[in-house]
Structure 1
C-alpha cells in the first residue's frame, strides 16, 4: 500500500480563498506540481513567496548564507502569542545569544543523563496503552502524553502526573487545535500590534505561558536556595552567555521553555504517532522492530548503550519523518534582492523550504511515496539523506535537540512494539498541517498485547 497523503489542489483562486484553504490545511491547498518542481513562485497583493525544492537552493539558504535569509517576520508574528522572541523565531544577535546559552545544555553527556527519564516515560506510555488493548483508539493523544512526559521529566524533573505539568499538557493540546500552521498574522503585511489572532489562540497561549511562568519562578527560587535538580532547566537558567555574561531574564526563559515544549513535545509526538501507524500498516516491519526490541531491551534493566542497537527502529523513525515531517515548512525572508534559477527574488520575499515536498520529491527520491525504511542503506537513500532530508532543518539553525529526538523516538517506538501489537483502524488517517503534521481526524489503530 501507499501511505496516505492529502489530495493536492491546483494552487489557483483568490487571495482570500487561498488564505482560507491554508488555514484549513496547508498541505492540500498547495498544488501537486510542487512534488516535481525545483522552484515555484506565488505572488499576490499581500505576499510574494518562492517555494524552493532545489537542493542547491536549500543549501544556499540554510548553510551557505543563512544570515541573508533570516526567519520570516511574518512567521514571528504568527507564533508570537506563544513563543514571544524565543530562539525558534528570533534573528540576528537575539538568536545568536540564545543559542550560546542553550547549546551547552545539549552537549557532553546530556543524552545519557536524559535516558532514564525517556525510559520511564516510555514504560509509563506502554502501560497506558496496554490498558486499552482490544480497543480502537486515537493514537495522537497517547504519543502526545508520552513525549510531554519526556519533556517534563528532562526539563523540570517532573512526571506528567504533576499537577502543573498536566495543566500545561492540556493547554498545549487546546492550543494545537486552535492554532493553524498559517494564520492571517503570518500572511498580511500589518504592523505587529494589528496582527490578527483568534481569541482562542490568544487565550490558550496566555494559559500556557502563565503556567510556564510558575514553573520558571519555582525553579529560580530552588536555584537560589541550592536545592534545584540537575536537569535541563537548571542548566539553561544557570548558564551565562560567554560573550556578555548575562543569563536569560524571567520572560526570556518563559519564551525558551514554550519553544522546548513546541519543538520537543509537539514535533516528537507527531513523528512517533506516524511511525507507530506506519508499523501498523506494514506488519512485516513491525515484527522486525519488535524482534530487535526484544533482543536489545530489558524492561528490568534500562541500559543507555542498548539504544545504539535499535538500528531498525531508527530507520523506521527516520522514514516516518521523511513521509510525515513534523514541521512541514520553514519560512525565511530575503534580506536583499536575489536571483534564484534565473528568476528575480525581491528583497522581503518569503523563501519557503518545504520538507513535506522535498522529502517526497519525484526527481530526487526513488519511490518517494512508498514506506521503505531500507532505503537508507541504498545509494539513492544515502544521497538524498545528505541533500534532501531536513526534518530538523540544517546549518547553523539546525534544531539543537535533534540528537535528543533521535534517541527518544526510536526508544519509545521500540518499547511500544516490544510489548504491544498495532493494527490499522477502521479508517486510515489523512495528514493535515496544524502546528505540526497530524491526522485530520486523528490517527486511529487497534492495540493488542504481545505474548
Structure 2
C-alpha cells in the first residue's frame, strides 16, 4: 500500500487562490511539478521566492554558507507570540550565543541521562493505551500525550500528570490547531512598526503557555539557587554559561528556549510517531520485524544500539512525513542559481517534503521501504537529499534526542499491541504546525499475548 500524500493543485492558479490554499495547507497548495523540479520560482507583486531541490544548492544554503542565508523573519512572524526570541527564530550573534549555551545539554553523553525518563514515559503511554484497546483510537492525540510526557520528564523531571505540565499540554492543543505554519507575513513584507494581527484564540493560548512555562522556569531557578535542582536538561541549560561572555540565560530568555523545546521536542515527535504507527499498521511485515526486535527490551540504555529495524522505520517515516515540511531562508546578497538572478532579500524555500519524495533522486519515492537505507541509492540520498532536522550549522540540536525517543516509543507500543488501521480510514496529510492528518489517524490496538 502506497502511503497517502496530499493532492496537488493545478500548475496555474490566481495569486488570491494560491494564498487561500497556502493558508489552509501549504502541502496541497503546491503543484505536482515540484516533485521533479530542481528549482522553481514563485512571483508575487510583493516579492519573489525560489524553491530549491537541487542537492548542491541545498548544501550551499544550509552547509557551505549559512550566514549568507539566515532564517527568514517572515516565517517567525507567525510563531513569535509563543516563541519570542528563541533559538529557532534568531539569527547572527544572538543565535550563536544561544547555541553555545544550549548545545552542551544535547551532547551524545547526555542522551544516556534522558533514556530513563523516556522509558518511563513509554511505559506510561502503553498503560494508557491498554484502556483504549480494541476500539478505534485517534493516535495523534495519544502520541502528543506521550511526547509531551517525554519533554516534561527530561526537561523538568516531572511527569505529564504534574499540574502545570497538564495545563501546558491542554492549552497547547488549542494553539496547535489555530496556528498555521505561516501567516500573512509570509506573503506581504510588512514594516516592523506595523502591528501584527493574530487570531484571538492563538494569541491567548500563546500568552497562557508562556505564563505557565515561566512558573516552571522560576521554580527551577529557585531550586538551583537552593542547591536542590535535579540534574536534568533544564538545570544543565540554565547553569551553562556562554563560554565567551560567562553569562547564563535570564528567566525571560529561558522561557523562550523552553517554549521552542516544547514545540520542537513535543509537536514534531508526536507527528513522526503517529505516522510511524500508521505505517506499521498498513505494513504488517515491518510491524512483525519491529516486534521481534523489541521483544528483549528491558530498559537498559545499551539496548538502544539494537533497535536497528525500528530506527530504519522511523527514518523512513521522517522521509515520507517530515514534521517540518518547509524551511525558509533569505538571501543577504545577490546570487545566481541555475542561471537565475536571485535578488537580495529573496526568499529561498527548502522543502524536506518535496526533496524527500523527489522523483529524480529517490528510487520509488512514494513507497514505504525502510530497507532502502541499506541500498546505494538510499545511502547517497541520506547524504544529499535527507534533511528532516535541517542540516549544517542550524541542524536541530535535539536531532539525536529525537532519534532515541522515536524508535524507543515505537518499539514499546508495537511490542505491546497488534496495530491495524481503522476500517475505511485513510489519513490526509496537511501542514499545521507540523505535518498532521486532516481528520486524525485512527488505529485499532489489540494487546499482544506474552
TM-score, scaled to structure 1: 0.98
3-state SS in 1 of match to 2:295: helix
- Work out whether 1:364 is the aligned partner of 2:365: no
5 Å-filtered alignment, 1:157-176, equals 157-176=157-176
Alpha-carbon contact 1:126-1:419 (below 8 Å) kept: yes
Q: Is the 8 A contact 1:185 1:197 kept in 2?
A: no
The runs of at least 4 consecutive aligned structure 1 residues that moved more than 6 Å come to none
Distance 1:335 1:191 in 2: 18
Q: Say yes or no: does 1:436 pair with 2:434.
A: yes
Q: Quote the residue 2:394 is aligned against.
A: 397
Consecutive unaligned residues in structure 1, runs of 5 or more:
none
Q: What corresponds to 2:122 in structure 1?
A: 122
2:385 corresponds to: 388
**Matched-pair contact (CA < 8 Å) for 1:71–1:333:** yes
Which residue of 2 is the match for residue 290 of structure 1? 291
Superposed, 1:59-98 pairs within 5 Å as: 59-98=59-98
Matches of 2:431 and 2:334, distance apart in 1 = 30
Residue 108 of structure 1 and its aligned partner are, at CA, apart by: 4.7
Aligned match of 1:181: 181
Q: Distance in 1 between matches of 2:197 and 2:336?
A: 32
Moved more, 19-28 or 357-366: 19-28
| Aligned counterpart, 1:143 | 143
Q: The residue matched to 2:89 in structure 1 has which SS?
A: coil
Q: Given that residues 82 and 206 in structure 1 are in contact (C-alpha distance below 8 angstroms), is that contact kept between their aligned partners in structure 2?
A: yes
Equivalent pair of 2:181/2:432 in contact (CA under 8 Å): yes
- Comparing 377-386 with 186-195, greater Cα deviation is found at 186-195
1:224 maps to 225
Q: 2-side partners of 1:11 and 1:448: how far apart?
A: 44
In 2, distance between residues paired with 1:430 and 1:26? 13
Distance in 2 (CA, whole Å) between partners of 1:405 and 1:101 is 19
* TM-score computed with the length of structure 2 as normaliser: 0.98
Q: In the alignment, is the contact (CA less than 8 A) between 1:319 and 1:372 conserved in 2?
A: yes
- Per-residue CA shift, 1:61-103, capped at 9, x if unaligned? 0000000000001012121111111100100001000000000
Question: How far off its partner does 1:196 sit?
Answer: 2.5
Contact in 2 for aligned 1:71/1:91 (Cα 8 Å): yes
Note if 1:204 corresponds to 2:201: no
Q: Deviations over 1:220-263 (max 9, x none)?
A: 11111111111111111111111011111111111100000111
1:368, 1:196 → 2: CA distance?
A: 39
Counterparts of 1:146 and 1:285 in 2: how far apart (Å)?
22
Secondary structure of the 1:41 match is: strand
Give the gaps of 5 or more residues in structure 2. none
Per-residue deviation, 1:214: 0.7
Partner of 1:376: 373
Q: 1:187, CA displacement in angstroms? A: 2.3
CA distance in 2 between partners of 1:126 and 1:158 (Å): 18
Q: Deviations over 1:140-190 (max 9, x none)?
A: 010000010000000000000001001111111111101011211332211
What is the distance in 1 between the residues matched to 2:227 and 2:12?
A: 60
Secondary structure (helix, strand or coil) at the match of 1:243 reads: coil
Structure 2 CA distance, aligned partners of 1:47 and 1:271? 33
When residues 197 and 12 of structure 1 are mapped into structure 2, their CA distance, relative to the original with a 3 A threshold, is farther
SS in structure 2 of the partner of residue 196 of structure 1: coil
Superposition deviation, residue 11 in structure 1: 4.6
Residue of structure 2 in register with 1:303 after alignment: 300
CA-based RMSD:
0.9
Corresponding position of 2:33: 33
Equivalent residue, structure 1, for 2:56? 56
- Retained in 1: the 8 A contact 2:75–2:183? no
SS in 1 for 2:127: helix
- Asked whether the 8 Å contact 2:136–2:442 carries over to 1, the reply is yes
